[in-house]
Structure 1
Amino acid sequence: MKYNFVTIEGNIGAGKTTLAHLLAKHYNARLILEQFADNPFLPKFYESPKQYAFPLELFFMAERFKQLKEIIQQNELFQSVTISDYLFIKSLLFAKVTLPEDEFRLYQRLFDIIHQQLVQPDILIYLHAPVTKLQSNIRKRNRPYEQRIPDEYLFNIQETYTHYIKQHNTKTLFVDASEADFLNNEKHLQAIIEALDKEYPEGQHYISLP
């Protein structure tokens, strides 16, 4: 394994957490998982997005920062391989979609203050799947508050992610996850493991699953 800090990202339902668990088991790695279930505003947001978007995104940013900062302060990040199922920048990307312009500007000011305090991953794995696949995965995992997520919202999140990745030089494995089944198809997981054994220059590198 060429990298100490690997982050997995993707849209809602892309399979981030499943892949993170499997990679952490394979590499006997430290696992950082987003604590989304602890956000009290999440069910309320899906019922009334305009009313609850700002507290939702603020809570997520604070919790992500607290989690990553604690690990860095304990020097745990550099003691072994670390796998995370979120990138801190996702706070800003989701806020860009959910918040009106004036609230987003305020949010971005707060984000910029704390973002510079965090260590960035050595490599990003981005799982890209069409909205139909995302909706299918969302139905399967059956979280009640997610069942009415509009296609338009997922599409906007997708566009924001891909625009960010193309505009930044982060070392990224851009994975076509249209037919991905990391849990039940060993070849799909093995393709990611083999990709992580290679050195890459900065920028995007496209991975197709067998």
Structure 2
Amino acid sequence: MKHHFITVEGNIGAGKTTLTHLLAKHFNARMILEEFADNPFLPKFYENPQQYAFPLELFFMAERYKQLKDMLHTKDLFQSVTVSDYLFTKCLLFAKVNLSEEEFRLYQKLFDIIHQQVTSPDILIYLHAPVQKLQSNIRKRNRQYEQHIPDEYLFHIQETYTNYIKQHNIKTIFIDASNADFLGNEKHLQVVLDALDKDYDEGQHYFSLP
């Protein structure tokens, strides 16, 4: 295996966790899944974003840091590959969208201190799906507090992710997930597995699904 720490990222409803499960099973890998359900501020945030955005993002950053630090600093002799369904920088990207300018400046100072202690992935898999597909997936998984996310919010998140990846020239397998069905279509998963079997330079490397 050419990549020992793989991160799957994408917008809300892009299919990150599904693909992470499948990759972890295929590679017999350790799996790091975001524990978003443990965040007590999440349902409150969707009801009142202005009031709850800052505690929401602080809670997420603390939990992600603890989880990544614990997992990545504990060696497992039987599992040489780790697959995560989030990038630690996700903290900063969502904070940029959700926080006021003053709150974001404070948040970024905290992030910069913590980020230095977190291991970066060898490669990022980014699932890029149109907002219509994201909304369809969100409806299917039926988490009550997600059912009224505006299209504009998803557009903003998408734009923030793609701008960050391009600006920082991150080594990325960029998947057009417009028609993705990783559970039901083996060919879709095989595209990702074949892509992971190659070495890459920095930057984005684009793949579409059959």
Give the TM-score category using the shorter length: over 0.9
What's the counterpart of residue 54 of structure 2? Answer: 54
Superposition TM-score, scaled by structure 1 size: 0.98
Q: Find the residue that maps to 2:174 and give its secondary structure.
A: strand
What's the counterpart of residue 68 of structure 2? Answer: 68
1:155-195 C-alpha deviation (Å, 9 max, x unpaired): 10000000001101211011000000001010000000000
Question: Structure 1: which 5+ residue stretches go unaligned?
Answer: none
What's the counterpart of residue 132 of structure 1? Answer: 132
Equivalent-residue separation in structure 2 for 1:100 and 1:149 (angstroms)? 19
- Quick check: 1:4–1:78 contact (8 Å CA) kept in 2? no
Cα 1:127/1:183, change in 2 over 3 Å: same
Cα 1:88/1:208, change in 2 over 3 Å: same
Residue identity opposite 1:13 in structure 2: G
Q: Find the residue that maps to 1:198 and give its secondary structure.
A: coil
What's the counterpart of residue 92 of structure 1? Answer: 92
What's the counterpart of residue 162 of structure 1? Answer: 162
Q: Find the residue that maps to 2:206 and give its secondary structure.
A: strand
- Quick check: 1:171–1:203 contact (8 Å CA) kept in 2? yes
Question: Structure 2: which 5+ residue stretches go unaligned?
Answer: none
What's the counterpart of residue 4 of structure 1? Answer: 4
1:93-142 C-alpha deviation (Å, 9 max, x unpaired): 00000000000000000000000001100000000000000000000000
Shift, 1:2, TM fit: 1.1
Q: How does 1:25-44 map to 2 (within 5 A)?
A: 25-44=25-44
Shift, 1:74, TM fit: 1.9
- Quick check: 1:71–1:77 contact (8 Å CA) kept in 2? no
Q: Find the residue that maps to 2:175 and give its secondary structure.
A: strand
- Quick check: 1:32–1:84 contact (8 Å CA) kept in 2? yes
Residue identity opposite 2:58 in structure 1: L
Cα 1:131/1:123, change in 2 over 3 Å: same
Q: Find the residue that maps to 1:106 and give its secondary structure.
A: helix
- Quick check: 1:5–1:123 contact (8 Å CA) kept in 2? yes
What's the counterpart of residue 45 of structure 2? Answer: 45
Cα 1:146/1:77, change in 2 over 3 Å: farther
- Quick check: 1:5–1:77 contact (8 Å CA) kept in 2? no
What's the counterpart of residue 172 of structure 2? Answer: 172
Identity %: 79
